[in-house]
Chains A and B, each alone.
Chain A
Amino acid sequence: MSTFGVENRATMAPPVARSIETRSLLVGVVFSGIAIVGWFLRPDEFFRGYLLAFMAWLGVTLGSMAILMVRHLTGGGWGMVIRRILGAAMRCIPLMTVLFIPILLGLPRLYPWARDLSTIADPHLRQHVEELTKSYLSTHGVILRAAIYFSIWNLLSFLLTRWSREQDRPNPRDNSSRFRAVSGPGLILYAFSLSFAAIDWVMSIDPSWISTIYGLMLLIGELLSGMCFAVVVERILVKYEPMSEWLKPDYVHDHGNWMLTFVMVWAYFCFSQLLIIWAGNLPDEITWYFRRFHGGWSAVGIALIFFHFVVPFLILLSRPFKRDIRKLVWLAVWLLVMRWVDLVWIIEPNFSPTLTLNWADIILPIAMGGLWMWFYFHNLNQMPLLPMYDPEAREVLVPAHE
């Protein structure tokens, strides 16, 4: 290993990344075309599907950023080998910032507080929403706060990327301490900003309802999405140099363990919320579950218990499964689908009392996914797959023992 530099093709993503980039763009453009037609024909459904798609892809983006910051704090080869995979997802934040704008155009279609309040039948609810819109849930407030959240996320992504890029060249100073100095406060900022974003963008669809664990529930879902997506990309890259040299079963095992942890914590948060609200059975809280236990939505809830928790949990207990990327990738894809189902279960019952799935709930995630993947693989192609001049990169470069 004599010269490792940006110019060295051997450390860059393989050509397959470029062909995925082109194909994703094609998918994105075609489905966006359909979606735009839908916007004019059925705007209500369009915006619901748009919010769903936005939250799903924002989850992969921010989840990757959070895992990256965890890696900067803890170190370890598992994180080094997927660092640039996560980093490319994190650099989709500017794209997500732009994609947020249409939500602002659809505010009255999505949120009761942005509509004419006199249409709210329940006088108590109307009074409460009136007070809330004066102080917190106003259009101005939501835009202002969104600007703050996106500034925080873009700034974190900018700093982490810039210092990471410095590690592609011989660099007199070690950036590890800078990474740590940003990642600690960064994770705190992420937790707070995401929680309030979750309240603004999703929880406030039902302004009468609250749950204090809500932000954490969405947060853990994002971490799970981020890790699963990284596993999918590492599966694609491991067929080619250089990832085939670097990715050791030990790292895959660690990624599987992270997935297991996130799946368990997700179940823990969801169960805690269910048990506390069910046992309290208070009229202004139980509404959330009441909607979701009726009109066919309970089937989605039961599916989530089994296919977002029980089955992945049992499979992830197997050590041989976790160590084999060709097997683990299937579960990662599966969990990404379940993340979508979870978001459907969180968002859609607010709009429809019976189980319904619109064209937009499927078309929009694919359309946005196509654009996102195009941007993602573009990012991935920009930088080598490993920051060669990070002192910890050595661990990945040492040949595997097994």
Chain B
Amino acid sequence: MDRPSEEILPQQPPVIEPGYTFATITDKISSIVLTRPVSNGWLIGFGISFLIVMVFLYAVGYLFVRGVGIWGVNIPVGWGFAIVNFVWWIGIGHAGTLISAILLLLRQAWRNSINRFAEAMTIFAVACAGMFPLLHLGRPWLFYWLFPYPNTMKYWPQFRSPLVWDVFAVSTYATTSLLFWFVGLIPDLATLRDRAENRAAQIVYGILAMGWRGSARHWSRYETAYLLLAGLATPLVLSVHTVVSFDFAIGIVPGWHTTIFPPYFVAGAIYSGFAMVLILAIPIRRFYGLEDFITERHLENSAKVMLATGLIVAYGYGMEAFMGWYSGNRYDSFLLWNRLHGPYHVWYLLLLAANIFIPQVLWIRKLRTNPLALFLISGVILTGMWLERFIIVVVSLHRDFLDSSWGMYYPTRWDWVTYIGTLGFFTACMFLFLRLLPGISIFEMRTLLPEAEVKSR
């Protein structure tokens, strides 16, 4: 028997550190919600984000009074920060769906400790994203005109416009993500209901748990429903950002009209989404002592996903630049020149650095497992992906075919406040989520323990 022995198998860090039992997992995760006192750190963090939400509401209120003229958008750049932020936020949401749905179908057990808060991240990110097109409508209270419904105005949406497809794509995405998240929460809500000491908590969690008793029949139905939802959510990972890319690619503006956009946008979305997952996971595991559940393995796997998707994005840049030159189309060549030498060239160079060059350090394994380094690189990637949308939207629009219609775009302070405001809204929601709901799936973590293995499979 000279077959290789167990020892020479490559040692990967575990998805859960040894020494836990079903009960200690439940204790550890549920205590964050039920028994731990509110810490000063949480209060300060939540307080600051809540203040930013107030500033956001002020900016939105002022927008409703004065109209979109307070933003920097004007001809030729009719789409400014609003669409940039919309695409940025919706892209971030994609990692949550990828982790919860696709990795579930691919039987990747390591996802179990990060799927819950990644899904929450998706929902909050989609909420932030959805606000921008609505605010940009000018009269957001008439948003329902976007839907095809029988009305006396003989009015019907233009179905050939990708902006209408967007309405369907994003609303489907928001609904499915919310359902998926809630269905996944039910068994854990029942755990919280059973463990809560305080009457109000018992009632609220009890209502949300929808009568879950944990019987075999419940579990069997639950597993079926969850798998079906995962199947429904999987195409959304591709379709939503594909439709978002059509918003641009269907047009004929150089820099927008290129066939690589759909896969390149999807890859970019997952790229920024995983960066956001790490930006959230790294502080959460540190402050709540969850290093045993969100291990080095999770950090490294997320880093690898970022590296891979980042390279697809690089392929997109490369192909677009090459074809711009190869086609000999003067507008495409000018776009390339304008990006590199035009008035926004600093942002373009920063984008290349942040999205393509700096993340290449993730080839080094030491950095993939170093939380601080990953946190910083993720921040760089998120900035880079925001800049990418800025370049695509603004630089393509500001100098089009006729130089008589060229112009510049300058974001106003209201643009910035609205954008930062959604960041505050997102963080405030995450703070509340961490205190009110189990941030890591309790029952799915229990399935990671060796004793959860069913022998007869």
Bound-state CA distance A2–B1 (Å) is 5
Within 8 A of B (CB), among A150-193: 170, 174, 176-177, 184, 188, 191-192
Task: Kindly report which residue of chain B lies nearest to residue A4, judged by CB atoms.
Answer: B3
Question: Would A136 and B326 count as touching, CB distance under 8 A?
Answer: yes
Chain B min CB distance to A75 (Å): 9
| A128 lies within 8 A of B10 (CB) | no
**B323-A268 in contact (CB<8A):** no
Inter-chain CA distance A394–B262, complex, in Å, is: 40
Most buried by B among A1, A170, A213: A213
Is A279 in contact with chain B by the CB < 8 A criterion?
Answer: yes
- Please state if A391 and B319 are interface contacts (CB–CB under 8 Å): no
**CB of A10 to closest CB in B, whole Å:** 15
Query: Contacts A213-B263, A269-B263 hold; do A188 and B3 have CB atoms under 8 A apart?
Result: no
A268 to chain B, nearest CB (A): 7
- The answer on a CB contact under 8 Å between B328 and A132 is yes
CA distance A174 to B4 in the complex (A): 9
Q: Which residues of B contact A276 (CB under 8 A)?
A: 246, 249-250, 257-259, 261-262
Q: Are B263 and A216 in contact, CB atoms less than 8 angstroms apart?
A: yes
Residue of A nearest to B250 (CB): A279
Measured between beta carbons, the chain B residues less than 8 angstroms from A174 are 4, 8-10
Contacts of A279 in B (CB 8 A): 160, 250
B329 at the interface (CB under 8 A from A): yes
Contact of B238 among A1, A128, A192, A268 (CB under 8 A): A268
Q: Are A389 and B323 in contact (CB under 8 A)?
A: no
Q: What residues on A are CB-neighbors of B329 within 8 Å? A: 284
Distance from B265 Cβ to chain A, minimum over Cβ atoms (Å): 10
What chain B residues lie within 8 Å of A390 (beta carbons)?
4
Q: How many residues of B contact A (CB 8 A)?
A: 35
A284–B311 CA distance with the chains assembled, in angstroms = 29
Name the B residues within 8 Å of A128 (CB-CB): 328
Assembly CA distance A279 to B311 (angstroms): 28
* B349 contacts the other chain (CB 8 A): no
Any A CB within 8 A of the CB of B288: no
Residues of A within 8 A of B238 (CB): 268
Instruction: Given A174-B8, A280-B252, decide whether A132 and B326 contact each other with a Cβ distance below 8 A.
Output: yes
Nearest Cβ in chain B — how far from A192, in angstroms?
7
Give complex CA distance A23, B60 in Å: 76
Contact, CB under 8 Å: B3 / A394 = yes
B10 touches A280 (CB 8 A): no
**Is the CB of A277 closer than 8 A to any CB of chain B?**
yes
CB distance from A274 to the nearest CB of B (A): 9
Query: A269 to B242, alpha carbons, bound, how many Å?
Result: 11
For B258, the chain A residues whose CB sits under 8 A away are 212, 276
Q: Is A212 a contact of B260 with CB atoms below 8 Å?
A: yes
Whether the Cβ atoms of A272 and B311 lie closer than 8 Å is no
B316-337 interface bits toward A, Cβ cutoff 8 Å, 1 = contact, 0 = none? 1011100100111100000000
Pick from A210, A214, A276 the residue with the most CB of B within 10 Å.
Answer: A276
CB proximity to A under 8 Å, residues B263-301: 263
A19 close to B (CB within 8 Å): no
Chain B residues, CB < 8 A from A277: 259
Q: Do residues B252 and A1 form an inter-chain contact, with CB atoms below 8 A? A: no
A170's contact among B2, B260, B262, by CB below 8 Å, is which? B2
Asked whether any CB of chain B lies closer than 8 Å to the CB of A282, the reply is yes
Residues of A within 8 A of B263 (CB): 213, 216, 268-269, 272
Cα(A272)–Cα(B266), bound, Å? 13
Complex CA gap A1/B1 in Å reads 7
| B residues 409-457 in Cβ contact with A at 8 Å | 457
Interface size in chain A (residues, C-beta < 8 A) = 42
* Cβ-based interface call for B156 (8 A): no
Q: Is the CB of A212 within 8 A of B3?
A: no
Cβ-defined partner of A212 (8 Å) among B160, B250, B311, B323: B323
Q: Do A280 and B4 touch across chains, with their CB atoms under 8 A apart?
A: no
- CB A235 to nearest CB in B, in angstroms, measures 25
Of residues A176, A199, A212, A273, which shows the largest number of chain B Cβ atoms within 10 Å of its Cβ?
A212
CB of B3 within 8 A of CB of A272, answer no
Contact A273 B259 (CB under 8 A): yes
Minimum CB–CB distance for B159 against chain A, Å: 12
- Write the nearest CB–CB distance from A87 to chain B, whole angstroms: 20
Chain B residue nearest to A173 in the complex (CB): B8
- CB neighbours of A336 from chain B (8 A): none
> Which one of B3, B160, B311 contacts A1 once the chains associate, using CB atoms below 8 Å?
B3
Interface string of B238-250 (1 = CB under 8 A from A): 1000100010011
Query: How far is B315's CA from A188's CA once the two chains are assembled, in angstroms?
Result: 9
- Asked whether A388 is an interface residue with its Cβ less than 8 Å from the other chain, the reply is yes
- With a CB–CB cut-off of 8 A, which chain A residues contact B318? 192
Which listed residue, B10, B260, B328, touches A216 by the CB 8 Å rule? B260
Determine whether the beta carbon of A211 is less than 8 Å from that of B10. no
Could you tell me the distance in whole angstroms from the C-beta of B9 to the nearest C-beta in chain A?
5
Contacts of B242 in A (CB 8 A): 268, 272
Q: Do B10 and A176 touch (CB < 8 A)? A: yes
- A131: interface (CB < 8 Å): yes
Residues of B within 8 A of A216 (CB): 260, 263
Interchain CB contact under 8 A, A188 and B311? yes
Please give, as numbers and ranges, the residues of chain B lying within 8 Å of A284 by CB-CB distance.
327, 329
Query: At the interface, yes or no: A195 with Cβ under 8 Å from chain B?
Result: yes
* A1 cross-chain contacts in B, Cβ below 8 A: 1, 3
Q: How far is the CA of A312 from the CA of B98 in the complex (A)?
A: 25
* Per-residue interface assignment for chain A, residues 200 to 216, with 1 indicating a CB less than 8 Å from any chain B CB and 0 otherwise: 00000000001111111
Tell me the smallest distance from the CB of B259 to a CB of chain A, in Å. 4
Taken together as a complex, chains A and B put the C-alpha atoms of A388 and B4 apart, in Å, by 9
Minimal Cβ-Cβ distance residue in A for B327: A210
Question: Which chain A residues border B316 with CB–CB below 8 Å?
Answer: 212
Nearest A residue to B266 via CB reads: A268
Q: Does any Cβ of B come within 8 Å of A101's Cβ? A: no
Partner of B10, one of A3, A177, A195, A210: A177
Smallest CB–CB gap between B355 and chain A, Å? Answer: 16
Q: Is A275 close to B, CB under 8 A?
A: yes
Residue A401 at the B interface, CB < 8 A? yes
- Taken together as a complex, chains A and B put the C-alpha atoms of A275 and B438 apart, in Å, by 43
Query: Are B259 and A282 in contact, with the CB atoms below 8 A?
Result: no
**CB-defined contacts of B260 to chain A, threshold 8 Å:** 212-213, 216
Report A-chain residues with C-beta under 8 Å of the C-beta of B249: 276
Residues of A with C-beta under 8 A to B328:
128, 131-132
Q: How far is the CB of B96 from chain A (nearest CB, A)?
A: 21
In B381-412, which residues have CB < 8 Å from any A CB?
A: none
Cβ–Cβ contact A280 & B3, under 8 A: no
Which B146-198 residues sit within 8 Å CB-CB of chain A?
160
Which residues of chain A come closer than 8 Å to B4, judged between CB atoms?
174, 389-391
Q: Mark A330-360, 1 if CB is under 8 A from B, else 0.
A: 0000000000000000000000000000000
List residues of B whose CB falls within 8 A of some A CB.
Answer: 1-4, 8-10, 160, 238, 242, 246, 249-252, 257-263, 311, 315-316, 318-320, 323, 326-329, 363, 457
The 4 closest A-B pairs by CB, nearest first: A212-B260, A213-B259, A272-B262, A279-B250
Other than A1-B3, A275-B250, give 19 A-B pairs with Cβ distance below 8 A.
Answer: A132-B328, A174-B9, A176-B10, A188-B311, A191-B315, A199-B326, A212-B260, A212-B320, A213-B262, A269-B263, A272-B242, A276-B250, A276-B257, A276-B258, A279-B160, A280-B250, A282-B252, A389-B3, A389-B4
Q: Which residues of A contact B (CB under 8 A)?
A: 1-4, 128, 131-132, 136, 170, 174, 176-177, 184, 188, 191-192, 195, 199, 210-216, 268-269, 272-273, 275-277, 279-280, 282, 284, 388-391, 394, 401
